[in-house]
Copies of this chain bind each other. A is one copy, B any other.
Amino acid sequence: MFDAAIPPASARERIAARGGRVTRTRLVVLELLQCSEHPLSHDEIGDALAAAGVAHDRVTLYRTLDWLVEQGLARRIAGGERAWRFEAVRDAAHRHAHFHCDRCGQVVCLEGLEPAPATGLPSGFHVDRAELVLHGSCAACGLGSEAGRVR
């Protein structure tokens, strides 16, 4: 479940390398993202911070995440609901699709499924990045019976 290839210690180095101050919030949030196998919402991160005994408020968390995204340490993805989700960036060049369970709202990463390259774009348009999100039901919610449903 944890990504053993990236020891938690590197979080401190990665933060310092960007010229940012190594604060407990940044440290814990980045370690959390690095250890999570799926993108986390603000709520989930906030709960984890509370569980870890790190004092924080909503605004600080927003700013911490903004900073991580700005520094290229985390990525922001649209979770389907109107809340963002965040994941650690392991390899800036590597991108992958996401699966959003319409039942439980959970988002999982789909390694090995890269968004298709852009083709057929009107002239003048410049593509920065592509986001591919599959919607349906995850294994835990499994509802094959409602397959035909259109949304």
B126 touches A147 (CB 8 A): yes
Residues in chain B near residue A140, CB distance under 8 A: 124
| Chain B positions within 8 Å of A86 at CB level | none
Task: Select A83's contact among B82, B99, B119, B143, beta carbons within 8 Å.
Answer: B82
The CA-CA distance from A134 to B143 in the complex, in Å, is 29
Q: A115-B132, A132-B131 are in contact. Are A125 and B147 (CB under 8 A)?
A: no
Closest CB of chain B to A97's CB: distance in Å? 8
Query: When the two chains form their complex, are residues B126 and A76 in contact, meaning their CB atoms are under 8 A apart?
Result: no
A128 to B148, CA, bound (A): 8
A70 to chain B, nearest CB (A): 9
Contact of A132 with B150 at beta-carbon distance under 8 Å, contacts A125-B139, A126-B137, A137-B126 already known:
no
Interface residues in chain A, defined as those with a beta carbon under 8 Å from any beta carbon in chain B: 69, 72, 75-76, 78, 80, 82-84, 92, 99, 102, 108, 110-113, 115-116, 118-140, 142-144, 147, 149-151
- 22 A-B pairs with C-beta separation under 8 A: A78-B78, A82-B82, A82-B84, A99-B125, A99-B127, A111-B120, A113-B118, A115-B116, A118-B134, A122-B139, A125-B137, A126-B136, A126-B137, A126-B142, A127-B134, A127-B135, A128-B135, A128-B136, A128-B149, A128-B151, A129-B136, A131-B131
